Chain A
Amino acid sequence: MEAFDFRPLLRPRRIAVAGVSLTNDRHPANVIYNKIRLRYPVPVDAVNPRGGRYLRDPVYPSFEEVPEPPDLAVIAVRAEAVPECIAQCIRRGVGGAVIVSGGFAESGRGDLQERIADMAREARFPFIGPNCLGVYAPGRFDTFFLPGERLVRPDPGGVGFVSQSGGVLVDQMVKFSAQGLGLSLAVSIGNKALVREIDLLRYFAADPETRVIAFYVEGFGRNEGRAFVEEARAAGKPVVVLKAGKTDAGRRAVGSHTASLAGDHRVFSDALAQFGVAEAHDEFELTCFCESLSHYPRAIEGRVGVVTVSGGHGALATDVLSGLGLEVPPLSEALQAEIREGLSANVRPIASLANPVDLTGSSTDEDFLAALAALGKSPEVDCILLLLLPYSPGISADLGARLSESHRQSGKPLVAYVPHVEKYRILIEGFELNRIPVASSVDGAAFMVEAMRRCRPC
């Protein structure tokens, strides 16, 4: 099947919203119309068969009567009225639609859903939904029928996110925001009657703003999973998937051991690993993986050099990393000697360098720079985890920026843990603004490392 042209739908220069009520400001169509009109730079028109005026602006009786044809139609009318809207859009030459309305396959009206999908397929008219929130494009527009002030709105950034569930998408936006992680685009695809995960995977693979492509998936259609992983491998960007339904509910009585052992999730999970798609097991991993992979798109084997000021944190991090199957290899005598040589006089005799590299509470900025410089160019580790507890007086507020800059030359992934409290903000931003990911917990930092290994095909 020839790919849809998603540009008008996902980057519209003009939007029209169908279903805008003349009297009910809380109608989903009104919420969408108002937020676009008031808060986004894209012009928007209202459509309602009754016509009239809403907030002093004209309401057009159909998409065909909107003076300038919209790129995107947002449809929030009764399910029975949706086919007529689609027909109008096709006749008017609209570029695509988001169908917010419910009342289709999810409530027993698969026939109605198939009807609109058939119409759209025939006319090469892409639509998202039905029964979805649609599209969130930071700074450009969104079709969520949720008032803007109730949403946490991530900044523009490198994550393209596709979710079968609107609720999961909105909640994940909160988590991305808390991690300081921006979105290129988020799409809730609802019943995915026409546009499905794989279509948006292709779109994001070609989208220069998207650095990592993330999915929340509940299930695929027949053989669709195979097509998806093959496409993901070819995307040339990291792909992360959070799959719901890990327990095969009411595992059916089956004849063969294989059918019983190779349950839906086992096959799903193994297929992702085989094709180098990073499977996130929960929302926390999803967030950590997106953060890490949007900075470091290449897979690692997972030999981690841990640098710390606290022996306890070094040991905790080693436990988490080992539990994930990552290695914290003992460093060679030669490498330890090289690190030691660069340390300041009072740290040199007390630092423990076998890995974790414990620079102790007496360490200063220069000790970190020396340790990272040596690890950065050593083939003994392929990733560095920095546990930076900025309690000791030798650590300056500039350390984040200084380390990021000096480490950049090495090309080796560096992940930092810094406690996320307001007074360390300058340190954290010193890393983040220089494209070094910072986790707010030791576990989170370990997952950021794991992300790079989990997208290695196995």
Chain B
Amino acid sequence: MPAVLKDDPANLWERARARGAVLEPEAMRILAAAGVPVVRHGFARRLEEAEEAARRLGYPVVAKVVSPAILHKSDVGGVETAVADPAGLAAAWARLSRLEGFTGALIAERLSGLELIVGAKIDWQFGPVILLGLGGTAVEIYRDVVTRLAPLHERDVASMVCCLRGARLLTGFRGCPAVNLPKLTAVLLAFSRLVVENAERIDSIDLNPVFCTPERCVVADARILLAPAP
């Protein structure tokens, strides 16, 4: 299949629909095609491919299980966040490949920065909704999030940032520099367009974490849940 066709987001959605789930490498391609910056990564079905991807990206890397059966990867030990060298990668591969529904691993560059969550859901009463909040694995503990109806406009993003209790983590606080708000805005606007265009296909989306620094905002993990078949 020619690369162009293979990467057409419409085809990605179709294949995911047929399978009943969007795998993370597909989610990353859908996002990238929509102009949402994603972490540099490679999808490996075999250990040799994983080693090749890690060499290309440069150690340390993150290795994450890709499985249609696993929704919350870190709950089942499906995320290895600090793979330092080829030996570590082989060990990680051995662990990940034993997980349910293993179809491969996503090998990604290790990022740092402020961890945000950017999300979407199709609300019964209000239709497509975009969420921004303080992200990471503790997202459901702090629950510091704000939502806006899509499509978002630039001023919506500014007000979302203001409305977070932890707004100062984004706008600069003591030693922490401000994150790049124009880049964050661009991410949210591109994401909002993607969600509005595909509202029929989606149940909800988590981009968590999105790493934000003074230089950039990059999606490090993506989960797209499909709407139930009509």
Contacts and interface: CB of A to CB of B under 8 A. Distances in A.
A350 interface: no
A222 interface: yes
Contact count band on B = 20 to 34
B204 interface: yes
A255 B70 CA distance: 10
Nearest to A268: B125
A267 B129 contact: yes
Interface string A265-294: 011101101110000000000000000000
Contacts, number: 97
B146 A267 contact: no
Residue of B117, B119, B125, B143 ringed by the most chain A CB atoms within 10 A = B125
Contacts of A324: none
A226 interface: yes
B203 A259 contact: yes
A396 interface: no
Contacts of B146: 270
B123 A267 contact: yes
B176 to A, nearest CB: 23
A266 B225 CA distance: 20
A256 B148 contact: no
A-side binding surface: helix, strand, loop or mixed?
Answer: helix
B186 to A, nearest CB: 20
A165 B163 CA distance: 32
Contact count band on A = 20 to 34
Contacts of B51: none
A264 interface: yes
Residue of A221, A255, A257, A259 ringed by the most chain B CB atoms within 10 A = A257
A262 B131 contact: yes
Given A261-B140, A458-B162, A256 B147 contact: no
A209 B117 CA distance: 46
17 contacts: A220-B125, A221-B125, A222-B125, A223-B127, A226-B149, A229-B126, A254-B204, A255-B71, A255-B204, A255-B225, A256-B119, A256-B121, A256-B205, A257-B117, A258-B205, A258-B206, A262-B123
Interface of B: 71, 117, 119-121, 123-127, 129, 131, 133, 139-140, 143, 145-149, 156, 159, 162-163, 203-206, 208, 223, 225
Interface of A: 219-226, 229, 254-262, 264, 266-268, 270-271, 273-275, 458
